[in-house]
Structure 1
Amino acid sequence: MIIGIDLGTTNSLAAVWKDGRPHLVLNALGAYLTPSVISIDEDGSVLVGQAARDRLQTHPSLTASLFKRYMGSDKTFQLGARQFRAEELSSLVLRALKEDAEAMLGEPVTEAVITVPAYFSDSQRRATRVAGQLAGLTVERLVNEPTAAALAYGLHQDEDATQFLVFDLGGGTFDVSILEMFDGVMEVRATAGDNFLGGEDFVNQIVDLFFTESGLPAHARDDGAFMQQLVARAETAKRLLSMADVANIVVVWQGTEHRFELTQERFRSICEPLLARLRSPVERALRDASIRANEIDNIVLAGGATRSPIVRQMVTRMFGRFPAMELNPDEVVALGAAVMAGLKARDEDLKEVVMTDVCPYTLGVETMHRMPNGGRVDGYFSPIIERNTVVPASRVKGYVPVEPGQRVLGLEVYQGEARLVRDNIKLGELEVPLPGLLNGDAGVDVRFTYDVNGLLEVEATVRATQDVHRLVIQGNSGVLSELEIAARLAALAELKIHPREKAENRALMAQSERLYQQLRGEPRDQLGEEISRFEQALEKQEDREIRTARERLRKAVGFFEHDSFFDPDFVF
C-alpha cells in the first residue's frame, strides 16, 4: 500500500487515496495533525507527536522540534545520552504516521509519496529519502509542497483553463508556485521560496519584543524550560490576535512578574521585515513565469501560518482579491500527496490527470574567465539548467581546459542564482581525465539531467575519446553514506518506541505535567491530585479504573487550561 505524507516542520500528517478521493489518516489520539516533535521518556522510550510537544516545556533537554530545518546538514540534537540527526528524528515521525495508516487501513504500508519544500536543495531531498528509508518506507516520489497543494486544489476546478498561485507558508519554510491547468494537464510555471522563513519566525519576533519591552533580563534566554514556556505564550498571543485586537503576555521570572500588551498594529510593525521576505519570492515567481499579478485567477493558501490575518491581508493587497478558502491550509498538502500516491498506484479515477514540475534552482559548474589583460580569474558560475526549467530536463554545455596538454579537468557542481560560486551551494565535484591534447581538441561536454524527484545526474563526455564519466555525489556535508545509513538503522532498531495503543495515556500525562508547572496555589494542588490518581490507575493496569481516572484528569486539564488561555492575569 502507498500513502501520501506531508512531513512538516511543525506538524505532519498522512493521507491515502481510496474510493476515488483522498482521505486523511487519524493518529492514535483521533487527530489529523501529528506535531513534528520527538522526546525521550523517563523509561527511555521514544514519544512522538502531542505527548512530545507538551514535554518541550517540562523536559526541553529530552525533546527536539523544528528539526526539518536542518535536513541534509551535520547538525545533531542531544536528547539525554543520545544524539540524533534531523533525518533520524524525521524517520521517527514518519514511522508513527506509517503505523497510524496501517491501523486505519488494516494492511501493511510499505511505500510513500513524501512532500518537500520546493526550495529544498539536493542534499535536503536526499536526506528526506533517507528518513523514509530509516522509517521502513520505500519513497516512490518526492513532491514539492506547493505542487501537492495545487494538485489537491485542481481536483475541485471545473474551468477548462486556469492559472493560480500557491502560497505555502508552514512552520519553518515558505514556498510559492505558479501553476496552469488546462485539459487535465497541471503545469508548474515557476517556483520560488525561502527555506528559513515560517510561522515560527513570527513567534520569535514576539519573543524578542517581549524581552525588549517587559524588562526581562537577557540571561533568561539561558533557561531552556522558561524559554519554552515563553514561546508557548507568544504562540498563544499570536493566535489570539487572529480573533482580537489585543493579546496579553504575562510571565514570572525568578519571582518577578513581567507583563506586555501586544496589539495588532504593533505585531504588524515588528513583522514587516518578515512580510517583505514573503513578498520577494512571490515577485520573482511572477517574473519567471512572465505573468502579471492581475492575470492570476486564484490564490491557494497552504500551511498553518497562512491563518494569520496579517499574512492573508498581505496576500489580498498584493493580488487585489481574497485567496481561496475552500480547503484547509493545514491539510491541503497531505491531500495532494494522497492524489500523487493514487497516480503512482495508477488508480483509474486519476488516469486523466497529468502533472509537470520545474527545477527550483539554477544548476551549473564553476568556470574560469580570461581577462582582457591575459590574466585568469576563477570562481564564476556557469549555468547549465536554469531555474524553473520544466522537469525532467536534460541540458548539455561544452567546456575546454585552461592549459594546453592538461591531463585532468575538475568539474565542481553548484546550485544557486549568484554570479560567483562562493555565494552558491556546492553539490559535488568530478575529475575528468583528459588525453592531453591541445585545448581545441580536448573539450568536454557536460550534461545535467534533473528528474521529477529533484535528483541530479552529471555526465561528462570527452569529445576526443568519447569516454563518459558520471558524477556520484558522495561525502557532501550532511549526507549519509550507505554504510552510515545501515548503522543508523541498527541504532534506531534498538530504540523502544512508545506503544501506539498507550499514546492517549502518555499524551494526557505530558499535557498534565506541562499544565501543572504553569499553575500555582490551589489549582496546582488539585491538578496534582488528579495526576496521582491517574498514575495509580495506570499502575494497577485495570482498564475500567484507567478509563475513569483518565476522564477525571481530562476534565481537570480542560478546566484549568481553559482558564490559563483566557484569564489575562494568569501567569506562569
Structure 2
Amino acid sequence: MIVGIDLGTTHSLIGVHDGHGGRLFPNAHGELLTPSVVSLDGDTVLVGQAARERLVTHPELTAATFKRQMGTDHESTLGGRRFRPEELSALVLRSLIADAESALGEKVTEAVISVPAYFSDAQRKATRAAGELAGIRVERLINEPTAAALAYGLRDREGEGRVLVLDLGGGTFDVSLLELFDGVVEVHASAGDTFLGGEDFLEVLLQAFATDTKTDLKRLPASELARLRQQMEAFKQGLSTHGDNRLQIQLLDASMEWSCTAERFETLAAPLLQRMRLPIERALRDARLVPGDIDDVVLVGGAVRMPMVGRLATRLLGRLPLRHIHPDQAIALGATLAAGLKDRAIDLDEVVLTDVCPYTLGIDVSRVDERGRYHPGYFLPVIPRNSVVPISREQSISPVSDKQKVLSIGVYQGEHPVVERNIALGRLEIPVDPTRGGDGSFRVRFTYDVDGLLQVEITDTSNGHRHDLVLQRNESALDTAQIQTRLAALQALKVHPREHLPNVALMARAERVYAEYMDNRDHVQAWLAQFRSTLESQDTARISEQRDAFTAALDALEAES
C-alpha cells in the first residue's frame, strides 16, 4: 500500500487515494493533525499530542521543529540519547504509518512525502533517509506547493488557468506558479525561504513581550520558556481570531500581564512580510508574468490563518485568495493524489504532473582576466533554476594547466556568481592523464530528477572515457551502513500501544496543567491519582468514561484561568 504524507514542521498528516479521492486518517486521538513532536519517557518514545504536552514539563526530553535541521548534522539530546533530525522525523513517520495501518487494516510499504519546494539536495536526501529509518520506501518526494495545487487543480478547476500557490507553514515559506490545462499540472516557477514560517511570527511576539515586560528570555529555565512559547502560540491564534488579545502568565513566581493589538502585531511582523514579498516577486519574474496574468491565488499552511498574510497576497496580486480547502490539509491531500498517480488510480489516469528545479545547479571554475591570470571561485551554472524536471544538461570545461594531474570539480546550488556564497553539495576528483592529448576538454553532465536528486557525470572528450562517479555524500548525510545502525537503535525503543495513547496524552496534559496553574494543583493531583487508579482496573468502559470526565475538568480549569 502506498500513502501520501505531509511531514510538516509543526504538524504532520497521512492519507491514501482510495479511488474516489484523497482520504486522510485520524490519529489515536481522532485528530487528522499529529504534532511533529517527539519525547522520551524512559525507554519509551512518545509522538504527537502526548509529546507536545511534555514540552512544558520535560523540555530536556522533548524535541520539536526539527524539520528545520534536516540535511544538517545537528543532534538533539533527549535523556542521554542523541537523535539526528532524520531519526526524529522517522519516529513521526512511524506514528503516522501506525495510524494509517490501523485505518486500512493492511501494511503500508511505500509513501509519497511532501517537502518544501526550496529544500536543498541534502534536505531531500535526509527526508528519504527518514523514510528508510521508518521502514518504508519513499516512492517520490513532491514539492509542497505543487501538492497543494494538485489538490485544488484536480478537484475544482475546469479548463486552463495559472495558479500561484503560497505555502506558509510552521517553518518554511514556498511559492509555486503553476499552469493547469488538459489534465496537466505544470510548474513554471518556484521560489521560497526555508527559514521563514509561523515560528518566526511567534518569535517576534516573544521578543516584544520580553521587551515590554523586561524579561530576559535567555535566563528563563527551559520549562518556563516552553510554557511561555505554548501560551504565546495560543495568544497569536487569538490575535488572528479576535484582533486584540491579552496574556496572563506566571514566570519565575511573578504574575505578568501583556497585551497586543493586531495592528501592532502586523507592524512587528513587517520585516517578515517583506521577506515573503521577495519569493513571490521572484517567481513572477522567472515566469515572465505580472500579477494580472494570475487566475487564482491559493493559500495553504497553518500560518496563512493570520489575516496579515491574506492582506499581503491581496495587495500584491490584486485578488482574493482561494480558501475552500482546509489550509492544513491541502498539502496532505495533494500528496495522496500524487500517491494515487504512482499507484495508477483509475480516476487519475489522464493527469500529468511536472515540476521544476528550484535552484540553479552548477560547478566552480576559474576565470581568466585580460592578462591571462586565473582567478578561482566563480560559479558556472549547468541547470538554471526553474528548469522543468527531469532534466539533463552539460557544460564543457578544461584543466587550468597542461600538467594538471587531477581535475577537482565542486558542485554547488545557488544564485550567486561567487561559489562561496552558494551551497556546496560535494566535490568530485577526476584523474587527468598528462599524455591524453586531444582538445583538453571534459564534459560535465548534470541530471536532476523529479525527486530533486542530482547525478553528476564527467566525460573525457580525448578518449571518450566516462566517469560514472557518484556525488560524494555531504558530510551531514547518513550512508547506508549508518542508516542500518540507527534503524536498529530506533527499533529498540519502546512505543506505547496505539490504543493507550489518548491515556498517555491526557496524563501528560495533566502534568503540564499542574506545572502551569499553581492555585489548582490539589485538584489536578487528585484527578490524576484517580485516573491512574482507573487505568489499573483495565476496565475499558470505565477508563473511557473517566477519561472524558478528566478531559472536561481540565478544559474547564484552563478556560477559567
Same structural fold, with TM-score higher than 0.5 when normalized by the shorter chain = yes
Deviations 1:472-509 (CA, angstroms, capped at 9, x unpaired): 23341210011111110111111001211101101111
Counterpart in 2 of 1:95? 94
Query: 405, 408, 411: which one pairs with 1:410?
Result: 408
Counterpart in 2 of 1:3? 3
Deviations 1:519-552 (CA, angstroms, capped at 9, x unpaired): 132x332222111100111123232332232122
Counterpart in 2 of 1:76? 75
Counterpart in 2 of 1:458? 456
- State the AA in 2 paired with 1:359: C
2:332 counterpart SS class: helix
Native 8 Å contact 1:35 1:53 kept in 2:
yes
Counterpart in 2 of 1:67? 66
Counterpart in 2 of 1:263? 261
- Residue pairs, 1:417-566, within 5 angstroms: 417-437=415-435, 441-521=439-519, 523-564=520-561
**Aligned mates of 2:464, 2:105 — CA distance in 1:** 54
- Residue pairs, 1:28-39, within 5 angstroms: 28-39=28-39
- State the AA in 1 paired with 2:219: A
Query: 1:219 Cα deviation (Å)?
Result: 4.4
- State the AA in 2 paired with 1:538: L
**Aligned mates of 1:419, 1:517 — CA distance in 2:** 53
- State the AA in 2 paired with 1:531: L
1:322 counterpart SS class: coil
Query: 1:439 Cα deviation (Å)?
Result: 8.1
**Aligned mates of 1:259, 1:558 — CA distance in 2:** 22
Native 8 Å contact 1:216 1:258 kept in 2:
no
**Aligned mates of 1:436, 1:328 — CA distance in 2:** 63
**Aligned mates of 2:447, 2:488 — CA distance in 1:** 34
**Aligned mates of 1:461, 1:398 — CA distance in 2:** 9
Native 8 Å contact 1:429 1:471 kept in 2:
no
Native 8 Å contact 1:400 1:440 kept in 2:
no
1:301 counterpart SS class: strand
**Aligned mates of 1:65, 1:183 — CA distance in 2:** 42
Native 8 Å contact 2:217 2:225 kept in 1:
no
Query: 1:554 Cα deviation (Å)?
Result: 1.1
Tell me: CA distance 1:468–1:315, structure 2 relative to 1, closer, same or farther (3 Å). Answer: same
Native 8 Å contact 2:438 2:462 kept in 1:
no
Native 8 Å contact 2:436 2:462 kept in 1:
no
Counterpart in 2 of 1:204? 203
Query: 1:438 Cα deviation (Å)?
Result: 7.9
2:13 counterpart SS class: strand
- Residue pairs, 1:27-426, within 5 angstroms: 27-41=27-41, 43-221=42-220, 223-426=221-424
Native 8 Å contact 1:169 1:303 kept in 2:
yes
- What is the TM-score when the length of structure 1 is the normalising length? 0.96
Native 8 Å contact 2:162 2:295 kept in 1:
yes
1:31 counterpart SS class: coil
Tell me: CA distance 1:259–1:440, structure 2 relative to 1, closer, same or farther (3 Å). Answer: farther
**Aligned mates of 2:554, 2:430 — CA distance in 1:** 66
Aligned residues: 561
- State the AA in 1 paired with 2:2: I
Counterpart in 2 of 1:18? 18
- State the AA in 2 paired with 1:283: E
2:292 counterpart SS class: helix
**Aligned mates of 1:543, 1:326 — CA distance in 2:** 39
Native 8 Å contact 2:389 2:448 kept in 1:
yes
Deviations 1:376-416 (CA, angstroms, capped at 9, x unpaired): 11000000000000000000110011012322211110011
**Aligned mates of 2:216, 2:74 — CA distance in 1:** 29
Native 8 Å contact 1:404 1:438 kept in 2:
no
**Aligned mates of 2:475, 2:404 — CA distance in 1:** 30
**Aligned mates of 1:239, 1:430 — CA distance in 2:** 49
Query: 1:246 Cα deviation (Å)?
Result: 1.5
**Aligned mates of 2:292, 2:513 — CA distance in 1:** 49
- State the AA in 2 paired with 1:19: G
Tell me: CA distance 1:367–1:439, structure 2 relative to 1, closer, same or farther (3 Å). Answer: farther
Native 8 Å contact 1:405 1:439 kept in 2:
no
1:247 counterpart SS class: strand
Native 8 Å contact 1:393 1:449 kept in 2:
yes
Native 8 Å contact 1:405 1:438 kept in 2:
no
Query: 1:440 Cα deviation (Å)?
Result: 6.5
Native 8 Å contact 1:434 1:442 kept in 2:
no
1:120 counterpart SS class: coil
**Aligned mates of 1:218, 1:19 — CA distance in 2:** 51
| % identical equivalent positions | 50
Native 8 Å contact 1:110 1:138 kept in 2:
yes
**Aligned mates of 2:492, 2:328 — CA distance in 1:** 33
Query: 1:437 Cα deviation (Å)?
Result: 4.8
Tell me: CA distance 1:501–1:192, structure 2 relative to 1, closer, same or farther (3 Å). Answer: same
- State the AA in 2 paired with 1:449: T
- State the AA in 2 paired with 1:204: E
Native 8 Å contact 2:112 2:338 kept in 1:
yes
**Aligned mates of 2:251, 2:541 — CA distance in 1:** 42
Deviations 1:55-107 (CA, angstroms, capped at 9, x unpaired): 10111000000000001100000111101000000001001111111110111
Query: 1:199 Cα deviation (Å)?
Result: 0.2
**Aligned mates of 1:478, 1:451 — CA distance in 2:** 22
- State the AA in 2 paired with 1:547: S
Query: 1:557 Cα deviation (Å)?
Result: 1.0
Tell me: CA distance 1:390–1:271, structure 2 relative to 1, closer, same or farther (3 Å). Answer: same
**Aligned mates of 2:35, 2:218 — CA distance in 1:** 29
Deviations 1:335-375 (CA, angstroms, capped at 9, x unpaired): 00000110000111100100110000000000001111222
2:278 counterpart SS class: helix
Native 8 Å contact 1:4 1:334 kept in 2:
yes
Native 8 Å contact 2:117 2:144 kept in 1:
yes
Native 8 Å contact 2:147 2:331 kept in 1:
yes
